[in-house]
Amino acid sequence: MNHEPVFEFSEHFDGEFLRQLFDGNLEHVIALFEDLYQTIPELLRAIRDDMASADWINAATKVHQLKSTVKFILKSNHPEELRRMEHQLYHIIQPLPLSDTPTISREASNIIADFHRIHLEILAARQFVLAEINRMRIYLSHPQRRH
């Protein structure tokens, strides 16, 4: 009896969620992963730039986008950490002083330090996304798989 091989997501991903979301269609999962593989670094750069210029409103908005994006694919604590960070960013928004020089409070400095750590961890996790894309492509090209 010839059985179709079953694709199992690696431990870095919520396979049950992804199977339900895309009704088992790996082509759609690959498209999502490829899109996120490209957009996550751009989003991280934009957040870093907003924090560097003390643009807390835009930083909070982009942290929210990043939280939603990361939650889609990686099993990690990052979505919860980003949720807290988003909340903290909205609380440090203060009217800017009359000078054009942005001020950074101690709380803001802590948020920036936390973001840099998360930034590096998420960039390091991109290798898992790329590896999973390759694994899905190999699965889809398997000769015993029914088309």
* Whether the predicted pLDDT of 18 surpasses 80: yes
List Cα–Cα distances, 32 to 21, 44, 98, 132, 143, in angstroms. 11, 18, 44, 12, 24
Q: What is the CATH number of domain 15-93+105-140?
A: 1.20.120
The Cα–Cα gap between 122 and 56 comes to: 21
pTM of the model: 0.80
Instruction: Inform me whether the pLDDT recorded for 5 exceeds 80.
Output: no
Residue 101 has pLDDT above 60, yes or no: no
* Percentage of residues in the chain having pLDDT higher than 90: 59
* Orientation of helix 78-92 relative to helix 106-140, angle to 10°: 150
Task: Concatenate the DSSP letters of all residues of 117-137 into one string.
Answer: HHHHHHHHHHHHHHHHHHHHH
d(CA 139, CA 18): 16
